[in-house]
Structure 1
């Protein structure tokens, strides 16, 4: 069965079949050919994969992101970021980074960021004289902050795919790595801007401009604080936090009279489509991941890794390298669902903190979103900006290097991911 499962997966993937159907076809066919398992197990495992209360947070956070965009708060975040850092060398590049960090606290999705605020700033950068490929590359790189800074859709998926980790703990574990990503990209942007002569706005924002921009963006800025604060104070669960975020975004839009019936319809429709695609991937990946565990592939892999080294850092580096290669060829969400039950037991048996492993894996696979040949964020930016994927892939290299440095820090310094959760009592 193992040979059938793996061969079918890679064969259909090579033929260009969407990865969700690739996992479903491989899993169901392997069960039917083997004959030792009741075929109904496939249906049961797929349903069990989406029959999860924490998973309900995903559609709510997706809807909250769409509603915040529909009511115009993305533009308020842009004005706030421009007033704060627009005067620095490579100012619009720094605006791009800061907006992505702020929007990450709303969307939790790299693709939502890439198609929304990152795409807007990319056009602004091109109009200001930045190289079009660099503007696109920076927009792609900054979008990867979305799944790291809480709330994170990938953190929710990881938490329901493994034991001993809470969604709230993973949310907190992403704060420092997310900030480090922003700092790393800001340093890279400063270096590139200095070499190419990219300047910021002519003058620093005065107090009045900064105050007005801050007040306009404040409703969006405090949304992550409402989500995390409510969870940490025990007012609501992470799933309920998603519902609160959606209600908050809806209330803001009505108070500001920013919604139209057409706009609301489009926001709910987009959220429904994205949610359906996410749940389809989760369902199909569930049967595939369950079969990997049933066939004891994680145990065999653990023995092989243990034979190479008994060092925690060595094992984490091996797992990170394996995940990074997988991220080149498999989309982020299915890769996370497949790799969590495979690599997780190896990390946990070596004494690696689940929060550190979880954030390493999420960050690793998120970086894969800007690496060819799959690189979904690269393709979104290329489509929006009408750019050649080859030129975009080359321009993203210095930014990719900065993100890999942050990944190495997460691997080498456990406190980067564990300090904040431990501070709030979410130690493992």
Structure 2
């Protein structure tokens, strides 16, 4: 009964637009006040315990890296490279939007941050070149989805910590679905551009010289991924240490480019501190609520319920796909990972599903939910930043939703897409 009341409190606060962290905190405190056998001090202990872990220190480092990239000129160089690679295709700027989402999605690691950045950098330029703003907003939402599944996605770090899965394996496991998703989104852009006559930004494919120049200018930015994945793969440093190393690396590159001042560094640190404060508060609140569900035996009951429906992994994955997309529409993805992972992992292990494969699928589902009308958080952000109405967005998102759906089905039912590279990483 106490858990049910806590759930109702949380849903009621969501309904009146109370911020996610405060709604979950209120639900957690409500449970402890109602339960007779619980001390209120345990609320604080469980919440602090949810954030007081070394692997989670990677989150503020990688969030800081995303902010630093925008202040050091690295993002602009990656944008030029994306244009050189895709500007000659139909819908050149739209293709650049997708490629840029893939290039910066990994280092920044957060879908909302990527969506905000692309809205500022590319959407105004797309509007000037004849692209409809609803189309640009829908595409930006879809492109931003690449951030959470490509390394070093914040969701991958949180899932790895909660499920006790190798974060290095998750980083590598996200590469296959991320690349497939990028290709299918570009195919969807080509389809829309063909129908609407969206032109390339370049009259012809960039010459080898132009590509070489753009690659050289963006070289040190591209080396970020090599540094992260290579360092983890060969045991040079942990994911947390990789975050710290890449932040220092990006600052050195920014000063070497002579495009960064100490004022920029201060602004980047302030921006990342605000973003990290929000995320860590959500993590702490969610950790307390997740402990409640574990204490009350909800995980065991969930396993019994799912196993009673079917013992087939295929049926389980189909049910979870639908469930996670619905959850992603209403709840912050990071909070959902912390709350739902302990509930689902017993069934995952019982059915013999690889936790790396399941983690990639879980994060991809929640990310799709975040861009899904009518409640997706990433959708609301892009619509607000671009001044697009919800009904206009809904009409434009369909081609990209099909591309994402195909990627999801392949990721779900073809585990090697996630596991081939993941198994290359030592435990």
| Fold shared per TM-score above 0.5 | yes
Partner of 1:67: 68
Gaps of 5+ in 2: none
Partner of 1:343: 344
C-alpha distance in structure 2 between counterparts of 1:328 and 1:122, whole Å: 24
C-alpha distance in structure 2 between counterparts of 1:287 and 1:342, whole Å: 14
1:254-313 CA-to-partner distances (Å, cap 9, x unmatched) read 112211232222111000000111100000000101101111112112111111111111
Partner of 2:212: 211
Aligned residues: 425
Partner of 1:245: 246
Structure 1 SS opposite 2:107:
helix
1:85-96 pair list within 5 angstroms:
85-96=86-97
Structure 1 SS opposite 2:97:
helix
1:26-175 pair list within 5 angstroms:
26-163=27-164, 165-175=165-175
Partner of 1:316: 317
Partner of 1:329: 330
CA-CA distance at 1:118 after TM superposition: 4.9
- Displaced runs of 4 or more, over 4 A: none
C-alpha distance in structure 2 between counterparts of 1:111 and 1:119, whole Å: 13
* Contact residue 74 and residue 254 of structure 2 kept, 8 A: no
Structure 1 SS opposite 2:423:
helix
Question: Normalized against structure 2, the TM-score is what?
Answer: 0.97
C-alpha distance in structure 2 between counterparts of 1:111 and 1:18, whole Å: 15
C-alpha distance in structure 2 between counterparts of 1:348 and 1:118, whole Å: 40
C-alpha distance in structure 1 between counterparts of 2:328 and 2:208, whole Å: 45
Q: Given the alignment of the two structures, is residue 374 of structure 1 paired with residue 375 of structure 2, yes or no?
A: yes
1:308-359 CA-to-partner distances (Å, cap 9, x unmatched) read 1111111111112111111111121111111111122222211111011111
Gaps of 5+ in 1: none
C-alpha distance in structure 2 between counterparts of 1:158 and 1:252, whole Å: 31
* Contact residue 76 and residue 216 of structure 1 kept, 8 A: yes
Q: Could you say what the CA RMSD is over the residues aligned between the two structures, in angstroms?
A: 1.3
Partner of 2:188: 188
C-alpha distance in structure 2 between counterparts of 1:397 and 1:41, whole Å: 46
1:189-338 pair list within 5 angstroms:
189-200=189-200, 201-338=202-339
C-alpha distance in structure 2 between counterparts of 1:16 and 1:146, whole Å: 25
Partner of 2:421: 420
C-alpha distance in structure 2 between counterparts of 1:173 and 1:363, whole Å: 12
Question: Normalized against structure 1, the TM-score is what?
Answer: 0.97
C-alpha distance in structure 1 between counterparts of 2:205 and 2:181, whole Å: 25
